[in-house]
Amino acid sequence: MSQQVQQHPAGYVGHDSRGHFVHYCHCGKWAPFGYGARKGRLGEWFCGDHRREGPTPVIVTLSEIWLNKAIEAGKARQVYARRSNLRHYGKAQHDAAADDISGCIAEVAVAKHFRLPWKPNVGVIDAIDVGDKIEVRGRRVDSDGNKAGQDLQIRPKDKDHLPYVYAEVNADNTVRLVGWLYGQQGKGNDKYWNAACKCWWNPPPFRPISELMGIIRP
Ligand SMILES: [Zn+2]
C-alpha cells in the first residue's frame, strides 16, 4: 500500500485534520492559484494547468421589463451615435446597433448583480456605466457559442481607478460576468496594444467578480 493516501477529494478546499488550509484543483492536483479568497471566503483554486479557467462565472438573467429598458436604451444610443457621427469602436463587420444593445444589456446585468442604479445615459459620453462605480465592456456571443473575442478592451482615455467588467451577452440575453480589471491594469502591456483600434485587448484571466463585490459592497 502506498504511504501517500489521498486525504482529500479532487477539488477540496478547506481544512485538513491538523487545521491547515488546503486547496486542490478539480483535477486532483495541489492548487496554488486562488481567486476570491479573503476573510470568510475560501475562494476557488486551480493548478497551473487549469488556472486560466478562472473562477466560476456569474450568470445574470434580467426580467423582461429590464431587458426591454436595456434594448430601448441601446437603440437610442445608436440613433444618437449616428447623428453625432461618433467613432464606433466595435469591429467593422459587426452590427453597430446590436453592439449598443448588448452593451446596455451587459450594463443592466452588472447593475442588477451589484445592486447599483443604472441610467440609460444616451448622449452622456463621460458617464460611468453603472452606479458611478463600474464600467462595463459587453460582448455579444453568437447562438453557436462563437465569441468575437474574449478580451477586455481598455482605451488610453479610460479611467485608471475604475473597475472594468468584461461581460458576455448570450443569444438568450442572459449575461455572463466573466471578470474585471482596473483601467490602469489594462493599460500596461505592449503585447496587447492594437494600433488599429488604439486600445489594449487584455486576455483572461481577469480578477474575479466575487472580489469586486467585496470592494463595492465590503
Ligand atoms: Zn488542475
**204 C-alpha to ligand 1 centroid (Å):** 17
Q: Which one, of 169, 163, 166, 177, lies nearest residue 101 by Cα?
A: 169
Is the domain of 100 the same as that of 123?
A: yes
pTM, two decimal places: 0.76
Domain membership of residue 167 (yes or no) is: yes
In the structure grid, which three cell numbers stand for residue 159, read together? 479611467
**100 C-alpha to ligand 1 centroid (Å):** 38
- Three-class secondary structure assignment of 17-64: CCCCEEEECCCCCECCEEECCECCECCEEECCCCHHHCCCCEEECCCH
The residue length of the chain stands at 218
Q: Let me know: does 87 contact 38? Beta carbons within 8 Å.
A: no
Domain membership of residue 30 (yes or no) is: yes
Per the structure, how many domains does the chain have?
Answer: 2
**206 C-alpha to ligand 1 centroid (Å):** 18
Q: Give the pLDDT of residue 188.
A: 81
**137 C-alpha to ligand 1 centroid (Å):** 29
Q: Give the pLDDT of residue 144.
A: 61
Is the domain of 178 the same as that of 129?
A: yes
Is the domain of 63 the same as that of 138?
A: yes
Q: Residues with Cβ within 5 Å of ion ligand 1?
A: 25, 27, 29, 47, 50
Domain membership of residue 177 (yes or no) is: yes
Domain membership of residue 5 (yes or no) is: no
Is the domain of 98 the same as that of 165?
A: yes
Burial (Cβ within 10 Å: 0-12, 13-18, ≥19) of residue 87: exposed
**117 C-alpha to ligand 1 centroid (Å):** 38
Per residue in 191-210, pLDDT (tens digit) is: 999 999 899 999 887 888 88
Q: Which residues of the chain fall short of a pLDDT of 50?
A: 1-4, 90-94
Is the domain of 41 the same as that of 102?
A: no
Is the domain of 171 the same as that of 84?
A: yes
Is the domain of 80 the same as that of 149?
A: yes
| Residue 93 to residue 151: CA distance in whole angstroms | 17
**105 C-alpha to ligand 1 centroid (Å):** 33
Is the domain of 66 the same as that of 37?
A: no
Is the domain of 47 the same as that of 68?
A: no
In the structure grid, which three cell numbers stand for residue 140, read together? 455579444
**180 C-alpha to ligand 1 centroid (Å):** 23
**15 C-alpha to ligand 1 centroid (Å):** 19
Q: How many Cα atoms occupy the beta-carbon half-sphere of 161 within 13 Å?
A: 2
Q: Give the pLDDT of residue 3.
A: 44
**145 C-alpha to ligand 1 centroid (Å):** 24
Domain membership of residue 194 (yes or no) is: yes
Q: By residue range, what is the domain housing residue 155?
A: 58-216
Q: Which residue has the cell 488599429?
A: 196
Q: Let me know: does 152 contact 201? Beta carbons within 8 Å.
A: yes
**50 C-alpha to ligand 1 centroid (Å):** 5
Domain membership of residue 7 (yes or no) is: no
